[in-house]
Structure 1
């Protein structure tokens, strides 16, 4: 039986409850005087001063900011030694979700794997490998957005650090035997010690995918049952990608970007149903499912509710981000031709920033109107027909219509948050903030089936193209 730890005393913070324990630390939920919550990780064996606690994770993240990487916030002193604060993700972990709900549907697995693969690509380009990609280190917001946490095992490529083994069942075989080749194709500068390299992260990610689909970690190659024997209905493309990621030879594993593209092609992503693993406190905040009695003849299944709430909009935005990959690498560029030819705009040498800012600000209300009305013609008021952005929202409209659902009170606000980059006179990109206000999802009878309390804020990069009708969204990247 696990020994009960007394809560630490943290000046300036109230310790609310224990969130969980890892192999070498305990994590607590804390709140400051204004009620802002954070996760506090305290090592079981206190390090020599705050710098030692922060060294690995703070160096690993550095100036990297990614929506799917949980950033460390800083260090605090406690009566149990220094502790590391990080953003609190109340939706729990992938491990707790699978333990509570069992194996996930393929669409939900895609919603987890694609953003995590994007996060790994960003880390690898930043010169860092994670070192412990595992179900317990993939956390969720209440909207179902996954983020990669706990960079305590990460290493800066080329650094001389001690040997780490990761989580049993999810660590690459070379991490236990001193490493091997296979870094050049991943764009890394050099290998870390003891097999800690980008290819090792990809093995772990494939193992996470296997776990999410089957409920258990994969065995090593020699003793691993073929995935179709466990899941007879699994598509061939799923088997091929996961087996490639689990290859004993690091050189034969795909890179993170390729993994994200191939994974997104498996099927349509679906929002996560976090309810089975949620605590009572968190369950009240979830927009993805509501356990309220339904009148006879109007009962909605859990699966339907899972796609009815606030995370449905976020899942569509995620689809935009994943589709953005299709214009890179060995994939064809996304089409941008309009269905009805429009008059060509006057060619300009320089873009007027205020015009772009006004165009971005108009995206939110126009998108909210299109997703509320379910009229496909309204999509062209802000997105380029036949573009990834247009197709993603058209699919979302169709999904809502097929299920007899609609959004009520949906309000989206978009704004430019940084410098506008001009690619040529007709193409620009800009960082944007998307704010989603509270809203309801109702069925054809007007009954509420889910409520998104919000507000929530997401950040993306938008790519715009100038048409005869003005600036239109071509694609969105996370």
Structure 2
């Protein structure tokens, strides 16, 4: 449907249980609204009561798989990790979805996943047996068994969705499945274990939805979902433009932001604090793997090994401009002095900003971070998301330091932009808990050649976009 007042698109779903679903759904999404299809209200029609909902022009994951190859692991992280965290929030508040499947995960115009179809949703205290979608439904549902732990059947469905996205078909019946290492020889062992545990016949051996999300985040870096040429023709014009990554190491790459789900409500959060993550076979490694896996998140969200300089005396030497600052003061926005763009001044400012950024991230100082970026910076939002992710795990960073070598100016875009090239190396750093105890040490990263944009904003250099990276 399209509303005349603002020409916005909506979906009208006719349902004989519209009122019950709406009231239940309102309660369910209090702490997990971001990755759930928006609900606008009810409408009476000639065919009965209907629900007005958000229109997701990207269609469902199932529809997407009909038109393209199976997902990469990075795309699976984007598609399912936020859904798993959303389900975790629902389970923490005593709710279950009841019909998680690839057909019920929809894509917005920006390629963001949203969970829909709450027809089978219910509260955990409701002892009625639900149903589901064949291929994604837990075996005990067909046997009319009641859940012993909230959400264990949703977790089975998550595991089936992961299998479906990686293989292109739903998992076979338990007794007919080939060895998972034969079906998926290229994926990490951690994902093998995650699917085996999630699809376990014994519901008590399955991980929680929160464990499922953390393990996915730990296993791979999130990637934008490639929907090009796969969406319905009549909705393609509503989708955001996709800029596919070019393999050339000097190519300009547009980073797409993959947002994490909204933090749970205080009630849901307190529920998590009172209950430890359940132990399941193969899950003893999850905590350390998650902590170690945040290295991937840090690498991607920090801007892919962008900043840093040698601490102590080396940093002090590098940050001294070769040209007096007074001589490069910008008096008129229309007249930028040449010395402001000299290689020594630009590189010195880049190193200075790098050190300030590292210190701000360790101190979790958002205001200090904001001072090193231009207004409305996507990189600042990524830094905030990374700090939020660490805060949810009650972790911090210590010893964060990235060295930059062979720095050179690739191009100048008059009047306010310079593009730098540098070899970046992430040094080893620690994850620490609230008591400043080291819980994991991340090893040094590999060398990468990066291209970074620096911008002059009101006479001050600011870190702009990451334009490219390569070996």
TM over 0.5: yes
Q: Which residue of 2 aligns with 1:54?
A: 22
Q: Which residue of 2 aligns with 1:175?
A: 141
Instruction: Confirm or deny: 8 A CA contact 2:104 2:115 kept in the other structure.
Output: yes
Instruction: Confirm or deny: 8 A CA contact 2:106 2:116 kept in the other structure.
Output: yes
Pairing 1:313–2:256 present: yes
Shift in CA distance, 320/167, structure 1 to aligned 2, threshold 3 Å:
closer
Shift in CA distance, 75/285, structure 1 to aligned 2, threshold 3 Å:
closer
Q: Which residue of 2 aligns with 1:86?
A: 53
Pairing 1:122–2:89 present: yes
CA distance in 1, matches of 2:19, 2:262: 39
Aligned to 1:144, which of 111, 120, 132? 111
Structure of larger gyration radius: 2
Instruction: Confirm or deny: 8 A CA contact 2:70 2:166 kept in the other structure.
Output: yes
CA distance in 1, matches of 2:363, 2:219: 17
CA distance in 2, matches of 1:319, 1:153: 23
CA distance in 2, matches of 1:388, 1:137: 41
Pairing 1:242–2:185 present: no
CA distance in 2, matches of 1:445, 1:410: 22
The number of residues matched between the two structures is 310
Secondary structure in 2 aligned to 1:314? coil
Shift in CA distance, 341/77, structure 1 to aligned 2, threshold 3 Å:
farther
Please report the TM-score for the alignment, with normalisation by the length of structure 2.
0.56
Pairing 1:104–2:57 present: no
Q: Which residue of 1 aligns with 2:38?
A: 71
CA distance in 2, matches of 1:320, 1:388: 23
Q: Which residue of 1 aligns with 2:225?
A: 272
Secondary structure in 2 aligned to 1:179? coil
CA distance in 2, matches of 1:135, 1:278: 15
Secondary structure in 1 aligned to 2:13? strand
In the alignment, structure 1 segments of 5+ residues that lack a partner are 1-14, 16-29, 184-196, 292-298, 343-372, 391-407, 415-426, 428-443, 447-464, 466-478
Between 1 and 2, higher relative CO (CA 8 Å, sep ≥ 6) is seen in 2
CA distance in 2, matches of 1:284, 1:445: 35
Instruction: Confirm or deny: 8 A CA contact 1:272 1:288 kept in the other structure.
Output: no
Return 266-275 or 198-207, whichever deviates more: 266-275
CA distance in 2, matches of 1:388, 1:238: 33
CA distance in 2, matches of 1:320, 1:159: 27
Instruction: Confirm or deny: 8 A CA contact 1:143 1:314 kept in the other structure.
Output: no
Shift in CA distance, 409/278, structure 1 to aligned 2, threshold 3 Å:
farther
Please report the TM-score for the alignment, with normalisation by the length of structure 1.
0.55
Q: Which residue of 2 aligns with 1:204?
A: 157
Shift in CA distance, 389/308, structure 1 to aligned 2, threshold 3 Å:
farther
Q: Which residue of 2 aligns with 1:282?
A: 235
CA distance in 2, matches of 1:36, 1:109: 29
In the alignment, structure 2 segments of 5+ residues that lack a partner are 264-268, 278-286, 299-307, 314-346, 366-373, 382-393, 395-410, 414-433, 435-471
CA distance in 1, matches of 2:351, 2:3: 44
Give, in angstroms, the shift of residue 182 of structure 1: 3.9
1:342-365 Cα shifts (integer Å, max 9, x gaps): 9xxxxxxxxxxxxxxxxxxxxxxx
Instruction: Confirm or deny: 8 A CA contact 2:43 2:49 kept in the other structure.
Output: yes
Secondary structure in 2 aligned to 1:111? helix
Secondary structure in 2 aligned to 1:244? helix
CA distance in 2, matches of 1:213, 1:83: 35
CA distance in 1, matches of 2:68, 2:83: 21
Give, in angstroms, the shift of residue 202 of structure 1: 0.3
CA distance in 1, matches of 2:412, 2:173: 52
